[in-house]
Structure 1
Amino acid sequence: MQSATPSNWPGSFGQRISIVGGSGAGKTYLAKLLSQRLGLPHIEQDAIFHQPGWQPLPRDEFRERVTQALAEPRWVVEGSYSATRPLILARAETVIWLDLPRTLVMYQIVTRTLGRLLTRKTLWNGNRERLRNVISLDPSRSIILWSWTRHGLYRERVIAEQQDPANAGIHYIRIRSRADLHTLLGRLPGFVTPGSAP
């Protein structure tokens, strides 16, 4: 199955939407907008997975909590966790794939991470970004290096998803630029895209 682009997308978003992409691609931003404009509950997988002190939720418990959230008839879920991906694909009607250029993603994640550090922003379950992790050369600790090293992997995964006959009933929308994103957002009720007349 080929991905549609926002400009040639013929249908509605459906009632169960999955947003995927690498770290820093803008999944949470888009999920919140879709949740607000379409009236869909927002499932943020990071908020489930990252426990206090950045402790990861055990895999089985993580899958169970996500399964419970997905049991609802309507939602928008964001995140690219391999542990829960099959659960999401079994229920999703539409996948919005944020396949932005690596340079743009890196700009977004660097500015986001620095902003969190400077403001000491509280994230999920009381966690905050840690400077020692940000400057680490270990991709499993540094979200910036994680995003850089796994950018191509996410693309391979989504392409493989689309080629799987089990997912033939899912509609994929591929976002490859900010222009694509603005086109997509322009289809939301009451949303004014940048540069549009008020």
Structure 2
Amino acid sequence: MRAGAVGAGALALALALGGCLPGGPQPGPGPDGTATATGAAPSPSPVPVPPPPAGEPMDEPKEAVTGAPVPVWDETSRVQARRVSEDAVRAWARPDLPAARWFDELSVFLTPTARRDYQWLQPSSILARKVTAEPEVVDEPSVYLARVDVATDAGTVQVLLSRQDGPTAWLVERIVPPEGQA
């Protein structure tokens, strides 16, 4: 009987010490937040993993999200992009206007995000006062985006444009003054 008691005691001691070794069960919170003797936490529920994408990499959509026709890059689009850029820079390059009037007249050319950004700009910080040459479309990364350079008396201003679909007009996302200017 004594040998059985020693064997049971040795087994209990081995199990108790096993919890102290690295990699063994550690005391920790149980499912209800209270400490458990073994520290064994319930195994996490499996997180669903989306299947890998099938097909080709994403290209320009075949249909616009709005249900309207997808825009195309053609001469009409370029003319519209140049016109909106020039009109927006003319509205932007008026540092002598009171801020409220300046913003009201500029905001008709801006996207909602640009309106939030430009509402705080002080027109007196703008060095340009007039457009000095015809705008030039310099980048067409997508049928939804364009970059137009507009020459002013203070240097070339970059105008970033976007549109939602074919019939939607170009809107200004950002007017980037010449380097070193506000």
* Shorter-normalised TM range: under 0.3
More helix by share: 1
Q: TM-score, normalised to structure 2's length?
A: 0.24
The answer to which structure has the higher strand fraction is: 2
Structure of larger gyration radius? 2
TM-score for the superposition, normalised by structure 1: 0.22
Higher relative contact order (CA 8 A, sep 6+): 1
